[in-house]
Amino acid sequence: MKIREMQQGDIPAVVEIENQNFREPWTEAIFKEEMAQGTRTYYIAELEDRIIGYMGLIWILDEGHITNVAIDANHQGMGYGRELMTYVANLAFEKGLTSMTLEVRASNARAIHVYESLGFINEGTRPKYYEGREDAYIMWLYKEAWNERTV
């Protein structure tokens, strides 16, 4: 798998993956707005020159906020999401981040398992965060724990 920064031309393929994975998917316009902001970076996972996933990261001082992570439905469960997140975490911590955070649906056991396996810990809940109905867990990954894990 190859990982690189997202380009404008990647947006249609990313939106397809977004639509497969989220109940309230982002549009092309939202991704264009996100990419125009200097504090956000999106990463693409490619397999045989085909986009199979993406991940977004907002850089806020020494913290990173993961906006979205998604893998094409035909490639889920094969470790590509974990590989993408590992790549981005290594890069972000090398560039000076001390922590990364994300929100995940409380019902998304599969994603929670992946995040926990990477060292994320649940540090709180946002009640009714999704569609005003479902709670989100607030998960954090700290550089110290990441470094200990990857030694």
Cβ neighbours, 10 Å, residue 109: 10
Q: Round to whole Å and give the CA distance between 48 and 59.
A: 29
Residue 150 pLDDT class (50, 70, 90 cuts): low
CATH number, residue 63: 3.40.630.30
Cα–Cα distances in angstroms (integers) from residue 133 to residues 23, 50, 108, 126, in the given order = 13, 35, 14, 11
Residue of 18, 42, 80, 103 with catalytic role = 103
The count of domains in the chain is 1
Backbone angles phi, psi at 96, to 5 degrees: 110, -5
- Based on the residue annotation, tell me whether 16 is a catalytic residue of this protein: no
Q: Is the pLDDT of residue 75 over 80?
A: yes
Query: For 23-71, what is each residue's pLDDT tens digit?
Result: 889 999 999 999 999 999 999 999 999 999 999 999 999 999 999 999 9
Range of the domain at 13: 2-150
The catalytic residue among 115, 116, 123, 134 is 115
Does the predicted TM-score (pTM) go above 0.85?
Answer: yes
54 catalytic, yes or no?
no
